[in-house]
Amino acid sequence: MQKENILDWSMEDLERLMEEWSESKFRSKQIIEWLYLKKAGAFALMTNLSKDLRAKLEARFVLRSLKIQDSRESKDGSVKFLFGLNDGNAVEGVYMPDENRRALCVSTQVGCKFHCAFCLTGKMGFIRNLSPAEILEQVLAVQEWLGPEKTLTNLVLMGMGEPLDNYDNVMKALRIFNSPAGFKFGGRKITLSTVGLLPALERFQKEDLKINLAISLNAVDDAARSRIMPANKKYPLKDLLKFCREYPLQPGRRITFEYVLVPGVNDTDEDAEKLSRLLRGIKCKVNLIPLNAGEGVPFSSMPQDRVDRFHKILVNSNISVFTRKSRGGDILAACGQLGGGWAA
């Protein structure tokens, strides 16, 4: 029988297994702590479990299914990782250090179905969903690579794939990221980004996870949005913004709207003015992301003066706005560039 990956099992799954094996339920919490808090890479290290239980776990499970196959460091300190999977596929992740923040951009699918025009992952097409273990192991692998002195502080689910299109596996991984017995990332430290799959968002808002929500908005009318994000044809702007307006935010929280500035598509003064009108009444902030032009992306880069102008119009309309520094452009690790290959 092929062994299962224990990281695919939730605390509740392990509780059921412990009952079946006539062990105390409490063992499941201890196992989860070994896996994620203490990051044990072998069952033999789980010394507060009996030898008999460790042997049973060893016979049934493996602990790893992903490894860092390659990495490239950018001049700005960010690092792109190529994670090799058991079936020969690979996904990418990006480590982005700042003064007090060490964030990892995590992938959730091999490829993607949504074909956003500014994104190289979309050009790959969809290959498969990642398992919960493969999502969790990206964080374990990078944390191990960083060593104990540098702990990851933030996770952003903005890597390859659309997280809400792999709903169950992503939710299972998020519960472990957020659990006090698991990785212990607070809800404010985790951000899930989506193109706006409304049925999945309706489900997501009922989850007891209090993580940050980012909407990849990128345009102010359906014609422009559908041109660069085909998902808009199914879930149009009006419905998406209605959802955002009614989204039950935690106190002090805001929705993030990601806005990739694409020259000639969504970057005029009128676009900025319309954006500020559309977002009126929604507790939100806007992340402006100047497009990273590159091979395979049919647009040119955004001139800085246009970015600054768009930014200023939003500020003058009392919209909270940040222009995101492009990270890792020299190693094809910037926004929209994952899946674009490995810079030498």
Tell me which residues are annotated as active site.
Answer: 92, 335
In whole angstroms, how close is the CB of 129 to ligand SF4 at the nearest point?
A: 13
127 vs 109: CA distance, rounded Å? 8
What is the total count of residues that contact ligand SF4 (CB under 6 A)?
11
Q: Which residue has its beta carbon closest to ligand SF4?
A: 122
For residue 295, how many other CB atoms are within 10 A of its CB?
A: 9
Kindly tell me which residue out of 161, 182, 290, 340 binds ligand SF4, with binding defined by CB under 6 A.
161
Q: Hey, which residues between 93 and 152 contact ligand SF4 (CB under 6 A)?
A: 112, 114-116, 119, 121-122
Nearer to ligand SF4, 116 or 275 (CB): 116
For residue 200, how many other CB atoms are within 10 A of its CB?
A: 18
Nearer to ligand SF4, 63 or 117 (CB): 117
Under 8 Å between Cβ of 123 and 295: no
| b/e burial code for range 19-28 (CB count within 10 A of at least 16 → b) | eeeebeeebb
195 binds ligand SF4 (CB under 6 A): yes
In whole angstroms, how close is the CB of 115 to ligand SF4 at the nearest point?
A: 6
For residue 317, how many other CB atoms are within 10 A of its CB?
A: 15
In whole angstroms, how close is the CB of 53 to ligand SF4 at the nearest point?
A: 41
Under 8 Å between Cβ of 159 and 108: yes
Nearer to ligand SF4, 18 or 171 (CB): 171
CA 87 to each of CA 65, 71, 175: distance values in angstroms, whole numbers, following the listed order: 9, 20, 25
Nearer to ligand SF4, 8 or 162 (CB): 162
Q: Which residues bind ligand SF4 (CB under 6 A)?
A: 112, 114-116, 119, 121-122, 160-162, 195
